[in-house]
Structure 1
Amino acid sequence: MKLSILDQSPILSGGSPQEALAQTSELAKWTDELGYHRFWVSEHHSTDSLAGSAPEVLAAHLASQTKKIRIGTGGVLLPHYSSYKVAEAFRILETLHPNRVDVGIGRAPGGKPNVNLALNRGKLPNTEGYPQQVEELMAYLHGYDPHGMDIYASPKGQSAPPVWMLGSSGTSARVAADLGTSYSFAHFINGRGGTRAVDRYKDYFTPSTQQDKPAVNVSVFVICSESDEKAEYLATGLDLALLQIERGTDMNHFPTPEEALSYSYSLYEEEKIRENRHRMIVGCKERVKEEMVQLADDYGVDELIVNTIVSPFEERMRSYELLADAFSLNKEYSRH
């Protein structure tokens, strides 16, 4: 099974945005050596707890810092932008790093409501036109002129980066299927009903210029440590962070386990934590591997994208190292 990474450049306690981006860069180089398959970075705006606001820019930096791992976006929020301009940005990336680039896209706002207005010159984005935008993007990436305007996305090249549609519902799965893109289901956002969404994508998939058969992966929160007890301790910080995010609390950093353990939880919050654990896999490497293999089997996929947010940063690095060891990624990597 292939393992990949979604990194959201979290700002940890006592840290800064500069440190968060430096950690993302360090993590990309480390996991490239460990044998991970992809490394995707996210798009979030006007937030004090996540540093990545321009994933295409960060992806360019990471691609120049790594050797074999695929680099991509998880994802560019397409309704905010021109499909043509996005295509040219990724044509540049593909030209610099052929066959190593992924174009992950989504249609979420990426922040508070006013972010929509700031990114769209005071107007709300046209999310209803999202499927058409995706069609345009795929056409431009492959050197076509979808509107007969006698233009193309430059620079042209022999290869084109694949479009991955990110989603957490059956609706996004059907759009990806109809358009013939690859599909990534965000189990770390929606821990219920994902298998039905992936089945829907596979059932309705229509071949496209990009690909002739379905391609799908699933992203999930994972916290792996030397023991179940230590992993559970580290996971308390993410438990509290998810509660704060769902309440709309402005966080200036991701909580530490110490902060989480000193927090007084209501009965409702304790129940919400139990529910959120459906979005997470937590434990020692043997337990985590078993649960990850089961999750992949449930979804019918051969690739999981891991999102790990823990404090301190060294524990995040260690979690990915333990996973690589559990799945023998280094051995697979050395054969390529």
Structure 2
Amino acid sequence: MTLQLSVLDQSPLLQGHNEQDALAQTIALAKHVDQLGYKRFWMSEHHSTKSLAGSAPEILVSAVAAQTKYIRVGTGGVLLPHYTPYKVAETFRVLEGLYPGRIDLGIGRAPGGMPGVNYALNRGQYPDVQTYPTQVSHLIDYIIGGSPEGYEVKATPLGETVPPIHMLGSSGGSASVAGQLGTGYTFAQFINGDGHPAAIDRYYNSFIPSELMKKPHASVAVFVVVGETEEEAEFFASSLDYALLTLAQGKVRKYFPSPEEASQNKYNMYEQEAIRDNRKRMVVGDVKSVKQQLESLAETFKVNEIMINCIVSPFERRLESYTKLAKAFKL
């Protein structure tokens, strides 16, 4: 089975660029991979995070879909516990009406930022994540034209096509919910490097067909750094190594450092161990090696779609990376 490639973009602020640049680069990247033959372009939701500009992916979906022609455009994902299923359904019914057959509704359960984000988005209350499965169930009903909460309302505009729902998760618990409710499932390897194929197995084994999805569809999202040589790939990966390390240390980072800056860092033995551990979240190497690693990852997880999250600097290098992969996989 042919391995399909998609893109997960977080609108990262690269060194020497500002927030407006990051958003413009998201649009430029989407247009680039649209022409290369990638299947999907998803945008993440992060709040109060200085180094990531994508706080409202549903708005970016509209902007990206307007400037692309072929690629499916969606969220990876809307953090559902912060919102009402009805409002999310309406938003994506509008997007589906504007770009029929090209919209994906990706959802997640994580807070998506610092702890205070939970309170700021929920009027000073902490969201009840235990009701997440019920929220997803109501969202599905609203999307397909139902009124699950008994208020006798419809999520408008209604139309002939319905955006599929995909759940982005980093645990087996999310996989079970996705399977039982009949949504798609994307395992976030770029978040949980200790992820195990058992999560995907749990999704497949628990899948019940729904009105949105008759057959299960699973994928894996992972950081990728590709270079002309292994040495060059390691050089460019030093930026992501440093960024992930500082995040784990609780340091505020205003941008993703250039490899020239990051490669000069000296790490103690504990930091070196943390960097090695974070490499479980990444695929790094030359084109041939990365292709083999991605194929192996797909085989291990029993999926036929990999979502690539490539954060390297400068921006032109990001574009080149996606081009290299498209050629290697003959998209």
Q: TM-score, normalised by structure 2?
A: 0.98
Q: CA deviation at 1:193?
A: 3.3
**RMSD, aligned CA:** 0.8
Partner in structure 2 of residue 145 of structure 1: 147
**What does residue range 260-279 of structure 1 map to in structure 2 within 5 Å?**
260-279=262-281
Which of 42, 45, 49 matches 2:44?
42
Partner in structure 2 of residue 325 of structure 1: 327
Partner in structure 2 of residue 299 of structure 1: 301
Q: Distance in 2 between matches of 1:193 and 1:278?
A: 9
2:305 aligned partner, one-letter code: E
Q: Establish whether residue 238 from structure 1 lines up as the match of residue 240 from structure 2.
A: yes
Q: Distance in 2 between matches of 1:193 and 1:147?
A: 35
Runs ≥4 in structure 1, deviation > 3 angstroms?
A: none
1:263 aligned partner, one-letter code: N
Q: Establish whether residue 219 from structure 1 lines up as the match of residue 230 from structure 2.
A: no
Q: Establish whether residue 20 from structure 1 lines up as the match of residue 22 from structure 2.
A: yes
1:69 aligned partner, one-letter code: I
1:131 aligned partner, one-letter code: P
Q: CA deviation at 1:147?
A: 2.3
Q: Distance in 1 between matches of 2:325 and 2:75?
A: 22
Q: CA deviation at 1:151?
A: 1.1
1:253 aligned partner, one-letter code: Y
Partner in structure 2 of residue 332 of structure 1: none
SS in 2 for 1:194: coil
Q: Distance in 1 between matches of 2:131 and 2:101?
A: 29
For residues 260-302 of structure 1, what are the alpha-carbon distances to aligned partners after superposition, in whole Å with 9 as ceiling and x for unaligned?
A: 1221201011111111111111111111101100100000000
Which of 117, 124, 127 matches 1:125?
127
Q: Distance in 1 between matches of 2:243 and 2:222?
A: 16
8 Å Cα contact 1:32-1:69 kept in structure 2? yes
Partner in structure 1 of residue 108 of structure 2: 106
**What does residue range 2-13 of structure 1 map to in structure 2 within 5 Å?**
2-13=4-15
Q: Distance in 1 between matches of 2:209 and 2:130?
A: 23
1:182 aligned partner, one-letter code: G
Which of 174, 181, 192 matches 2:183?
181
Partner in structure 1 of residue 210 of structure 2: 208
Partner in structure 2 of residue 87 of structure 1: 89
Partner in structure 1 of residue 117 of structure 2: 115
1:270 aligned partner, one-letter code: Q
Question: Alignment length, in residue pairs?
Answer: 329
Provide the identity percentage. 56
2:70 aligned partner, one-letter code: K
Of stretches 141-150 and 109-118 in structure 1, the one that deviates more from structure 2 is 141-150
Q: Distance in 2 between matches of 1:112 and 1:280?
A: 23
Of stretches 187-196 and 54-63 in structure 1, the one that deviates more from structure 2 is 187-196
| Structure 1 segments unaligned to the other structure (5+ residues) | 330-336
Q: Distance in 2 between matches of 1:248 and 1:201?
A: 33
Q: Distance in 2 between matches of 1:142 and 1:92?
A: 13
Q: TM-score, normalised by structure 1?
A: 0.96
8 Å Cα contact 1:185-1:194 kept in structure 2? no
For residues 110-159 of structure 1, what are the alpha-carbon distances to aligned partners after superposition, in whole Å with 9 as ceiling and x for unaligned?
A: 11111111101111111111111101111111111112322100000011
2:317 aligned partner, one-letter code: E
Which of 298, 305, 311 matches 1:309?
311
For residues 51-93 of structure 1, what are the alpha-carbon distances to aligned partners after superposition, in whole Å with 9 as ceiling and x for unaligned?
A: 0000000111000010000000010000000110000000000
Q: Distance in 2 between matches of 1:137 and 1:116?
A: 20
8 Å Cα contact 1:103-1:164 kept in structure 2? yes
Q: Distance in 2 between matches of 1:149 and 1:249?
A: 45
Q: CA deviation at 1:103?
A: 0.5
1:81 aligned partner, one-letter code: Y
Q: Distance in 2 between matches of 1:205 and 1:291?
A: 27
Q: CA deviation at 1:99?
A: 0.9
For residues 32-57 of structure 1, what are the alpha-carbon distances to aligned partners after superposition, in whole Å with 9 as ceiling and x for unaligned?
A: 00000000001001111000000000
8 Å Cα contact 1:165-1:181 kept in structure 2? yes
| Structure 2 segments unaligned to the other structure (5+ residues) | none
Which of 67, 70, 73 matches 1:68?
70
